[in-house]
Chains A and B, each alone.
Chain A
Amino acid sequence: DGGITQSPKYLFRKEGQNVTLSCEQNLNHDAMYWYRQDPGQGLRLIYYSQIVNDFQKGDIAEGYSVSREKKESFPLTVTSAQKNPTAFYLCASSAGGSYNEQFFGPGTRLTVL
């Protein structure tokens, strides 16, 4: 069953702690993305990666870090430098090349207490 998985669905952390959100895809897609979604707003791009071992900052990268050591995995770390980390985080992937359609995972709701 192909798709994108994100874990966990809900995550609670204390202020000042780093936390890593998992994103895995078995679609053999080259490109992967992380978005943040807040109530009343659309999706804002945090980081994206077009190939393994390469990634670029999106529009709101401050306070976040990523790695792309494997094609199927693109974990996102929310660091203590992120001033307002409570949000819904969405991971997506696309085949790359001329294929723009992005496929989304189910999301992780992060709440910082």
Chain B
Amino acid sequence: GESVGLHLPTLSVQEGDNSIINCAYSNSASDYFIWYKQESGKGPQFIIDIRSNMDKRQGQRVTVLLNKTVKHLSLQIAATQPGDSAVYFCADGITGFQKLVFGTGTRLLVSP
């Protein structure tokens, strides 16, 4: 596969642990936030998104928390599995403006 993100921040966890990946954004006008998962050599896949009128949103085993006051976003993965190993990106944007601004990504390594 491709070696994407060789020098990314890395979070190492044990299988079954909960994982928390953090992200900061800079544009106070952003009102849309999204998390992607990218496996080696593949395109990013949508995980979950949230709009600024919410501070928490839950999906299957994932939760996104938004703190607009400090411009901070986090992704929580419950009961992390080896298949969750990937690079995770956050992105922010403004509704109606199609561009997204991507963070640099965090590599999650899950040990059996």
Contacts and interface: CB of A to CB of B under 8 A. Distances in A.
A32 to B, nearest CB: 9
A43 B5 contact: no
Chain B interface size band reads 20 to 34
Contacts of A41: 5, 104
Given A50-B98, A88-B2, A104 B105 contact: no
Interface string B71-104: 0000000000000000001010111101110111
B6 A39 contact: yes
Contacts, number: 69
A40 B7 contact: yes
Contact of B42 (A31, A101, A107): A107
A88 B4 CA distance: 8
A4 B36 CA distance: 16
Contacts of B3: 39
Nearest to A104: B43
B64 interface: no
A75 interface: no
B29 interface: no
A42 interface: yes
Interface in B17-57: 32, 34, 36, 41-46, 49
